[in-house]
Amino acid sequence: MGFARRDRFPWQLRSRRLSLGERTLVMGIVNATPDSFSDGGHYDPVAHGQRLLDEGADILDVGGESTRPGGAGEVSGQEEQSRVLSVIEALTKAGAIVSVDTYRASTARLAIEAGAEIVNDVSGLLWDPEMSSTCRALGCGVVLMHTRGKPSEWATLPPMTEIVPTVVRELRQRIYESGIRREHLIVDPGFGFGKRGEENFTLMAGLDQLKELGLPIMVGASRKGFLGGEVRDREFATVAMHTAALLTGAHVIRAHDVKAALQGARVVDRILNGT
């Protein structure tokens, strides 16, 4: 039994359209935060974003608030915006396709005005009641992620039952309730976001069931805690997760190490394209 070729989709962003499926797209992570779990704010975000572009990133995802458990906690919208807007403007001028990682409608609106093309909302459009209508009005690309609860609640959430069917059902509900046109949407199963330990591997094993939604799939598993070990020692495990996701039908992978992600993705692309 061989691997099936990925479904092809046009993904409509704010001012351009991306073709998904022929090759993997890599979204490079640019943290404009002092408490990121991966880098802790130990670099200049604009310089880092430029480096990821040079390494081949297709999209840069700029975030101004860490959602890691045990992080510094929620920041104000004003603080988030002060961290990300100038970074987005600079990277857009450098030729990047930029995504803003935010759950706030106010930040999303200002980020798109600053040049971003995509809103990546880890809350699945749930934490700000104005986010769905804002994204509809902006006409941008939207990453709709599945999340259970908020970071402060994750340690006390009960175990999931019927993990994959639950994620598919709740994503389908969010897609319908958002009212966003389907060509603007891509779904993310939300590895680590309210899923504990082995639940993430069960979710990966059933990732092909997300195809029922009829939308492209993005996976963000880079360096996450369920992979085990110290953060900087998770890159090989990250590439393994990316490989599994791509062979199962994912179109976009979100990664800290763009070079490693691309090396793995290009091999998978050749397998899927039969070359």
Of 114, 101, 28, give the one whose Cα is nearest residue 66: 101
d(CA 215, CA 201): 22
CA 151 to chain centre: 16
Start-to-end CA span in the chain (Å): 17
Which segments of 40-140 are extended strands (E)? Answer: 59-63, 98-101, 118-121
Catalytic residue among 109, 148, 224, 234: 224
- Asked if 227 and 241 count as a contact pair (C-beta separation under 8 A), the reply is yes
Backbone angles phi, psi at 144, to 5 degrees: -105, 110
Count the residues in the chain.
Answer: 275
Rounded CA-CA distance 83/132 in Å is 23
Q: What is the DSSP letter of 6?
A: P
Do 23 and 251 meet the contact criterion of CB atoms below 8 Å apart? no
Which two tokens mark 120? Answer: 């990546």
Of 181, 254, 266, 270, catalytic: 254
14 is catalytic: no
Q: Which residue has the tokens 């190490």?
A: 257
93 is catalytic: no
| φ, ψ (nearest 5 deg) of residue 179 | 70, 10
The whole-angstrom distance between residue 214's C-alpha and the CA centroid of its chain comes to 18
Determine contact, residues 112/180, Cβ cutoff 8 Å.
no
Residue numbers annotated as active site? 224, 254
